[in-house]
Chains A and B, each alone.
Chain A
């Protein structure tokens, strides 16, 4: 699929008009919902894929699953932050139970990241048309982040899109995200799964997604940036 060649129907103007909230965003009056122009654009990009495959790297929610399935997509979900936390707890337990002097005393973060990805994000190459990653990449440890991005790039089809969010300041609480409609997402406060690792400058976001061929950033009123990147 060649996104670069994709034309919007009835498109006459070349200048990009600002994205206006549609009627679907009327639910965005509550404090826990936000308009996601990134999601709107993401959906537009992957619509051509028909029975496209979507990978959601956040928590599973009924509304998100139904939203994509009703649009004809096939959805896979893998809560990466939760898996990472469970993996670290299991490793810690394993180390605690290991005999003293077993030689397993110190394991580097890089080794842990590699071991984690031996079982996580196991999908065929060029498989997904779209990847959702709200509140994920800026929560990952510096050793894990590049490995995860490399794996995400690998499992995406050429022309596929990844939608990720990045905080502009340290978040006050930890949220999971559920899709309400095509441009509204709901923030669900949950117990902290991972500590916010760092704030990425715009330039740094472009750098970590260096292998992707195009990008677009949306800044919300809450100063959360949504980055949409194409493979």
Chain B
């Protein structure tokens, strides 16, 4: 029914200029990794290595226990665990140190403190939840960050992104939904609408 264009005959002078158009973009800043933060409720990481043992982590992925002191926490955060290229891990990962993924991970990743970095060769097939998330490789899952999410120029992300700060560099490939939270705001728990990938959203809604 094209051609009924009378709606367009409205005066332009009253057209509101969009507010906030010139608002500065929030910069992706290095998060303040608070060493005194309460340790994760998860007492230990659940890692099952499908093909080979983890050989290169500088510290175990499960670095903190419920009784961890602040000093222990600071020490844990100074450590970095690495899932090296060629390794494939099935199962959930949780902890309080930084995590670099150059291999393949199938399972939820939850770091109460620390940064998750998916390197150029890294592949993650599940959700990631951490204060800071940096992606250079491939992620099929939702990203929830308390501080920031960065998608580098070689990143491929399919899923939702929920974070107070989002940095997307030119060349990034992204398919999904972006929502911003207030800094420090806890991300909604799994299963919320905002955590749905486009595919999951289809399952939740009608489709013709």
Contacts and interface: CB of A to CB of B under 8 A. Distances in A.
Contacts of B6: 4
A124 B14 contact: no
Contacts of B2: 206, 209-210, 212-215
A189 to B, nearest CB: 11
Interface in A5-28: 6-20, 22, 24
A74 interface: yes
Contacts of B201: 122-124, 127
A61 B170 contact: yes
B24 to A, nearest CB: 9
Range for the number of chain B residues in contact with chain A: 35 or more
B14 A10 contact: yes
A127 B204 CA distance: 12
B205 A127 contact: yes
B177 A76 contact: yes
Contacts of B207: 124-125
B20 A71 contact: yes
A24 B166 CA distance: 24
A65 B7 CA distance: 29
Given A182-B17, A213-B2, A24 B25 contact: no
Contacts of B180: 69
A65 B65 CA distance: 39
A66 interface: yes
Contact of A74 (B16, B166, B173, B179): B179
A3 interface: yes
B206 A124 contact: yes
A107 B97 CA distance: 50
Contact of A8 (B11, B19, B168, B172): B11
A84 B26 CA distance: 32
A44 B4 contact: no
Contacts of B19: 71
25 contacts: A11-B14, A14-B9, A16-B11, A47-B16, A60-B172, A60-B174, A61-B168, A61-B170, A66-B166, A69-B179, A75-B178, A76-B198, A78-B198, A82-B173, A122-B201, A122-B202, A123-B202, A127-B201, A181-B18, A181-B22, A206-B2, A213-B1, A214-B1, A214-B4, A230-B7
Interface of B: 1-2, 4-23, 25-26, 151, 166-170, 172-180, 198-199, 201-202, 204-208
Given A59-B173, A77-B176, 7 more contacts: A8-B15, A18-B12, A62-B166, A70-B23, A124-B207, A125-B206, A215-B5
